Amino acid sequence: MIVIGEKINCVVPVVKKAVEQRDKRMIRELAQRQVEAGAHYLDVCAGSETENETEIILWMMDVVQNVVDTPLCIDSKNVRVIEEVIQYAKRPGIINSVSCKDENCDAVFALIKETHWQIIVQTIQKNGVPEDPRCRFAIADAVYEKALKHGIAPDRLHIDPIVAAVSKDHHSLRKFMQTADAIKTSYPAVKITAAISNISLGMPLRKKLNQHFYALASYIGLDSAILDPCDGGMRTSILTMDALLSRS
């Protein structure tokens, strides 16, 4: 399983405060703890910041890359921000994320086509996330074709079938699973990814829900996951599913 550590994200209030105060110590500790817990990539995200997003991400990158060698997952919807910061990454990582709802998908594909960077693409269209898994698969199919046209190999694609909070959609897991299964059946080299904690938003026992969702998603072919690697229960789920599915 490719583990993308989720904790360096300004959506989290304590992280946002640390970034505002330019608290390098806290960001360094978050980076080190996630790597020690098994993260293969570290997500860096300025959250809802727009005016100074480039500055924030560059600061995060500098702090993280000075303490660990783990590649980064650059988390931004703004292709101009991605273009600006990607050149300061010491190693190729993952772009998180784009969708087919605007021109960003083609722009980012063009930006990374001659590199070893990977990319997360969400199954979202202009009017949002389709309810029907068949529509989500159609988006994934279009993404696959776009990637080929830009010379992006399928194994550099992480497609996110989108899991909504079960508190808002009781059929969220079923829709995710059906979409993921269809993508894996048609394009086995493409990686399936998910932001694991999205499933439990607004619910009690969030960690337990996340762990069970991770296990179910692993069984149907999850390849990478944005999650909290420092959660002991989640680490147990990862190791357990790797053993049960004979994955190294």
**DSSP letter string, 145-162:** HHHHHTT--GGGEEEE--
- State the pTM of this model: 0.97
- Count how many domains the chain has: 1
- Residue range of the domain that includes 109: 2-244
Cα–Cα distance measured from residue 224 to residue 126, given in angstroms and rounded to the nearest whole number: 25
Cα–Cα distance measured from residue 193 to residue 186, given in angstroms and rounded to the nearest whole number: 16
Residue 55 belongs to domain with CATH number? 3.20.20.20
Nearest of 148, 119, 110 to residue 41 by alpha carbon: 119
Q: What is the per-residue pLDDT for 148?
A: 96
Cα–Cα distance measured from residue 104 to residue 72, given in angstroms and rounded to the nearest whole number: 20
Nearest-10 Cα torsion for 10, 15, 19, 21: 140
Instruction: Tally Cβ neighbours within 10 Å of residue 212.
Output: 16
**Tens-of-pLDDT digits for all 248 residues of the chain?**
999 999 999 999 999 999 999 999 999 999 999 999 999 999 999 997 678 999 999 999 999 999 999 999 999 999 999 999 999 999 999 999 999 887 789 999 999 999 999 999 999 988 899 999 999 999 999 999 999 999 999 999 999 999 999 999 999 999 999 999 999 999 999 999 999 999 999 999 999 999 999 999 999 999 999 999 999 999 999 999 999 999 87
Q: What is the per-residue pLDDT for 49?
A: 67
C-alpha to C-alpha distances, 107 to 31, 68, 101, nearest whole angstrom:
29, 29, 12
